[in-house]
C-alpha cells in the first residue's frame, strides 16, 4: 500500500490533548455574508477581536480573512496577530479548519468533509469546504482526507486514546446516512489514533451545530472531565444534560479508570432573535499558559471562572464577552483551532 494512502494511525499519528504546547492558534474572521443569522456583524467582529487579542497574550495567532475585510480586521486586532487572506464563507475555524495530529516529530492534518452542519444552515459553504486543505498546505503538514462528514467542534480527546463525541452529530442522517457507531469508531480510530469512546447526546436547545461536544464537556489534565450542568428540572436543557452526566459518571479512560467529573452550571436563560442562546462556559480555548473563556454578565460567571481556574492551576484564566460570539451560533472554542508544536 502506498504510504500516503495509509491511515494516520498506521503511520503513528494521533490527536494530542488541547493543553499540549501549541505552535499557534488559527481563527477565521466573520464575513457578514449571512445577515439573517448574524444581523450585527460589527458586534460579532468585536467579540472575535477580543478573543483573538486575549489569545495573543499567550501564543501566536493567525486570522484568516476575506480580502475585503482585512482593513477592518487590522483596526480591531493587536499588531501581534497575523492575517492571511483566503476566500471564506463563515467564521468557525474549529469546524472547517483541519484537525491537527502528530506522530511526535511531524505534523499532520485531517480534512473532514464539511456540509454546513448537515446543511442545517443552508448549502452555501463551498469556500469553507476548502479551508482545511489550504491551512494544512500552509503549515506543510501531512494531508489526510477523511471519508466522513464531521466538524472539529464535534470531537474532544484526552490525548491518551479516548475521544468524546455526540451521537446526534456523527450519526446525523443529514451528515452520514447509514453510519453506525461501530463503523464510526473504526474511522475515528484510524484518523485520530484513539481506541476508547465516550458517546454523549446533544443537549442545548437551538444549537446550530446539532450538538457539538465543545458546548457540553471537555477533558482536562489529571483525568478530569468538565461537564455542563443544569439543576432546574423546568429548564429545557435539564434532562439531556442530566443524561450526559450519567454517561460521564460511568465513563472510563483507556486504562479503565473513572474520570473525575467537575460540573459547571450553564448560564441563565437568554435569547436572541426569538431563540434561546446555546451558552456554555465550557466553550473556552486552552492556550499556552492560559485559558480564554467566555462570560455572560451572569450571576454564575464567578463560580465558572473559579472552577476552571481550579482545574487548570498552572494557566491564567482570562475572560472575554461571550454573548457577541454566541449570537452567531458558537463561542470561543468554536472560533479557534490549535496547531500543536512539533519539536
Band of residue 5 on the pLDDT scale cut at 50, 70, 90: low
Taking the C-alpha atoms of residue 240 and residue 236, their distance in angstroms, rounded to an integer, is 9
Radius of gyration of the chain (CA): 18
Window from 25-39, 197-211, 266-280, 324-338 with minimum mean pLDDT: 25-39
C-alpha cell at 331: 463561542
Residues whose CB is less than 8 angstroms from the CB of residue 156 and which lie 6 or more positions away in sequence, other chains included: 18, 163, 164, 165, 213, 214, 217, 218, 219
Q: Of 53, 56, 59, 179, which Cα lies nearest the Cα of 113? A: 179
334 is catalytic: yes
Taking the C-alpha atoms of residue 118 and residue 166, their distance in angstroms, rounded to an integer, is 14
What are the structural domains, with CATH classification, of the chain? Answer: 7-340 (3.75.10.10)
Q: Given a cut of 60, is residue 287 above it in pLDDT?
A: yes
Taking the C-alpha atoms of residue 111 and residue 127, their distance in angstroms, rounded to an integer, is 14
Q: What is the pLDDT of residues 208-255, one digit of tens each?
A: 899 999 999 999 999 999 999 999 999 999 999 999 999 999 999 999
Q: What is the pLDDT of residues 112-161, one digit of tens each?
A: 999 999 987 666 789 999 999 999 999 999 999 999 999 999 999 999 99
Q: What is the pLDDT of residues 321-331, one digit of tens each?
A: 999 999 988 99
Looking up cell 436547545, which residue turns up?
Answer: 205
Band of residue 110 on the pLDDT scale cut at 50, 70, 90: very high
| 310 torsion bin: left (phi>0), alpha (psi -120 to 50), beta (else) | alpha
- Predicted pLDDT of residue 1: 40
**Edge-to-edge strands, sheet with 217-220:** 217-220, 224-229, 260-265
Band of residue 2 on the pLDDT scale cut at 50, 70, 90: very low
228-234 long-range contacts, Cβ below 8 Å, gap at least 24?
Answer: 228/203, 228/204, 228/263, 228/264, 228/265, 228/266, 228/280, 228/281, 228/282, 229/263, 229/264, 229/265, 229/266, 230/265, 230/266, 231/265
Q: Given a cut of 80, is residue 37 above it in pLDDT?
A: no
Q: Given a cut of 90, is residue 162 above it in pLDDT?
A: yes
Q: What is the pLDDT of residues 40-49, one digit of tens each?
A: 899 999 999 9
Q: Of 294, 289, 311, which Cα lies nearest the Cα of 58? A: 289
Mean predicted lDDT score pLDDT of the chain: 96
Band of residue 172 on the pLDDT scale cut at 50, 70, 90: very high
- Predicted pLDDT of residue 123: 66
Amino acid at each position: 500500500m502506498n504510504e500516503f494512502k495509509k491511515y494516520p494511525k498506521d503511520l503513528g499519528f494521533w490527536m494530542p490533548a488541547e493543553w499540549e504546547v501549541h505552535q499557534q492558534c488559527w481563527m477565521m474572521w466573520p464575513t457578514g455574508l449571512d445577515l439573517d443569522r448574524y444581523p450585527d456583524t460589527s458586534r460579532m467582529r468585536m467579540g472575535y477581536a477580543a478573543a483573538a487579542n486575549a489569545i495573543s497574550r499567550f501564543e501566536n495567532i493567525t486570522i484568516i480573512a476575506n480580502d475585503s475585510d482585512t482593513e477592518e480586521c487590522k483596526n480591531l486586532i493587536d499588531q501581534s496577530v497575523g492575517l492571511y487572506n483566503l476566500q471564506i464563507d463563515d467564521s468557525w475555524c474549529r469546524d472547517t479548519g483541519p484537525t491537527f495530529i502528530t506522530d511526535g516529530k511531524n505534523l499532520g492534518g485531517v480534512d473532514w468533509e464539511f456540509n454546513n452542519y448537515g446543511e442545517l444552515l443552508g448549502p452555501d459553504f463551498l469556500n469553507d469546504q476548502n479551508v482545511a486543505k489550504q491551512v494544512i498546505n500552509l503549515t506543510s503538514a501531512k494531508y489526510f482526507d477523511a471519508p466522513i462528514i464531521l466538524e472539529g467542534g464535534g470531537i474532544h480527546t484526552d490525548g491518551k486514546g479516548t475521544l468524546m463525541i455526540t451521537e446526534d452529530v456523527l450519526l446525523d442522517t443529514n451528515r452520514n446516512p447509514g453510519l453506525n457507531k461501530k463503523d464510526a469508531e473504526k474511522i475515528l480510530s484510524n484518523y485520530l489514533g484513539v481506541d476508547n469512546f465516550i458517546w454523549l447526546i446533544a443537549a442545548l436547545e437551538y444549537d446550530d451545530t446539532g450538538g457539538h461536544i465543545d458546548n457540553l464537556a471537555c477533558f482536562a489534565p489529571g483525568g478530569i472531565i468538565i461537564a455542563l450542568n443544569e439543576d432546574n428540572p423546568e429548564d429545557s436543557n435539564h434532562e439531556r444534560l442530566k443524561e450526559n452526566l450519567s454517561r460521564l459518571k460511568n465513563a472510563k479512560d483507556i486504562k479503565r479508570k473513572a474520570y473525575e467529573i467537575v460540573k459547571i452550571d450553564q448560564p441563565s436563560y437568554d435569547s436572541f432573535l426569538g431563540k434561546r442562546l446555546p451558552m456554555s462556559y465550557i466553550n473556552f480555548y486552552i492556550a499556552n499558559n492560559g485559558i480564554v473563556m467566555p462570560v455572560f454578565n451572569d450571576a454564575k460567571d464567578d463560580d465558572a471562572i473559579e472552577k476552571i481556574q481550579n482545574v487548570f492551576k498552572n494557566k491564567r484564566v482570562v475572560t472575554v464577552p461571550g454573548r457577541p460570539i454566541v449570537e452567531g451560533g458558537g463561542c470561543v472554542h468554536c472560533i479557534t483551532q490549535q496547531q500543536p508544536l512539533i519539536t
